[in-house]
Amino acid sequence: MKNPYFPIPMRVKRTSVETTDQMLRTIELSFLNEEDKRAFHFIPGQFCELSVLGKGEAPFGIASSPTENGSLKFTINKAGVVTTALHHIEEGAEVGLRGPLGNGYPITLFEGKNILVIGGGFAFTTLRSLIAFFLQPQNRNKVKDITVIYGARMPGLLLYKEELKEWEKRDDIKLVVTVDWGDKDWNGKVGLVPNVLEEVAPSSENTYAVICGPPIMIKFTFPKLMALQFPNERIYTSLEKRMKCGIGKCGRCNIGHLYVCKDGPVFSYDQLEKLPKDY
């Protein structure tokens, strides 16, 4: 029997601060064992449990795309014990990893369709994985139009700024970046995500929407999606709950009979509607 609680060793290859408030740091991890690397296959939207031994373990969405071979990226919000330890970790250090865990985005459902990606704040991590996956030349034909609306409170809080610039230059993705408050160097859009969605007004025809962000953003964006006539079964989101085991044993992450760690974290609104409001 393989032990699903036993982490594999990873090396911290690079770390970089993402945001001006210093609260978000991206760490890139490479596999220390060749066989672990060969055995690791994931799809966008899955997550891993990262261990800093002695401090503990916490779940993080995979921010890199499966098409970026050889290493994994995670973007970490400094919140408590483990996340703080991951902020202080040095390049070359060893961390533990369990995964990939969870179901991931329904990539095959998206095939042949348009996708609308709506992200707010640092929940953009796994959305970045999803977008990068479909922008890869061998995958680009799998979906039709890619529309991305990404908002942060301030320009300094946007993630992956270099990459956003690259995407802006391409003509096979429509990217709208917005901030709640601009600053003197900001010449992009200013406005809240729900309002920007209304303005951009992408057609819901043949389109799947994926939305991740702070609850308040989701609360106000959802009615706009309804107004655009997106049916519940074509709106997907990724949930967060307190987790420990990540494999449906320890009990704490359930919503009704489903476990967010193993049956999620990605759910359609159609599924969520049938579950108790226990999140």
Partner 1 sequence: MTLKLDKKDLKAFLETLMEEYDLFAPVKLAEGVSIYKKIDSPDEVDLSTENPQKPAKEVFFPQSETMFRYEKAGKRYQMTSTEGVERERVILGARPCDIQAFSLMDDVFLGKEYKDVYYGNKRKATTIIGLACPHPLSTCFCSSAGGGPFLRKGSDLFLIDLGEMFIVELLTEKGMAFQKNKFFREANTKEISLAKGIEEKASTKADASVPIGGIDRRSDLMMENPFWDRMHEKCIGCGVCTFLCPTCHCFDIVDEAITDKGQRVRNWDSCLFPLYSQETSGHNPRPTGRERTRQRLMHKFNYFPKNFGRVACVGCGRCILYCPVNFDIRQAIKLTSPKEIKKVKDEVDLTRQ
Ligand X SMILES: Cc1cc2nc3c(=O)[nH]c(=O)nc-3n(C[C@H](O)[C@H](O)[C@H](O)COP(=O)(O)OP(=O)(O)OC[C@H]3O[C@@H](n4cnc5c(N)ncnc54)[C@H](O)[C@@H]3O)c2cc1C
Residues engaged in binding ligand FES (CB under 6 A): 243-246, 248-253, 259, 261
Q: Which stretch binds ligand X (CB under 6 A): 138-146, 184-192, 225-233, 235-243?
A: 235-243
Tell me how far, at minimum, the Cβ of 252 lies from ligand FES, in Å.
6
By the rule CB under 8 A, 39 interacts with partner 1: no
Residues 135-194 close enough to bind ligand X by CB under 6 A: none
Tell me how far, at minimum, the Cβ of 123 lies from ligand X, in Å.
8
Alpha-carbon dihedral 116, 173, 70, 127, rounded to 10 degrees: -20
By the rule CB under 8 A, 92 interacts with partner 1: yes
| Rounded (10°) angle between helices 215-227 and 193-200 | 20
Interface map 235-274 toward partner 1 (x if CB under 8 A): -----xxx-xx-xxxxxx-x-xx----x------------
By the rule CB under 8 A, 106 interacts with partner 1: no
By the rule CB under 8 A, 276 interacts with partner 1: yes
Q: Which of 77, 204, 221, 268 contacts ligand X by CB under 6 A? A: 77
Give me the amino acid identity at 186.
W
**185 within 8 A of 155, measured Cβ to Cβ:** yes
Residues 8-27 close enough to bind partner 1 by CB under 8 A: 9
**83 within 8 A of 59, measured Cβ to Cβ:** no
Residue 178 binding result from ligand X, ligand FES, partner 1, none, given CB thresholds of 5 to 8 Å by partner type: none
Tell me how far, at minimum, the Cβ of 94 lies from partner 1, in Å.
6
Of 279, 123, 86, 101, the C-alpha closest to 210 is 123
Tell me how far, at minimum, the Cβ of 53 lies from ligand FES, in Å.
19
Residue 181 binding result from ligand FES, partner 1, ligand X, none, given CB thresholds of 5 to 8 Å by partner type: none
Hey, CA dihedral for 217, 220, 222, 227, is it positive or negative?
negative
**185 within 8 A of 211, measured Cβ to Cβ:** no
Q: Which of 58, 127, 132, 159 contacts ligand X by CB under 6 A? A: 58
Contacts with ligand X, residue ranges (CB under 6 A):
47, 56, 58-61, 74-77, 79-83, 125, 240-241, 243, 265
Contacts with partner 1, residue ranges (CB under 8 A):
1-7, 9, 32, 51, 53-57, 79-80, 83, 92-94, 96, 240-242, 244-245, 247-252, 254, 256-257, 262, 276-279
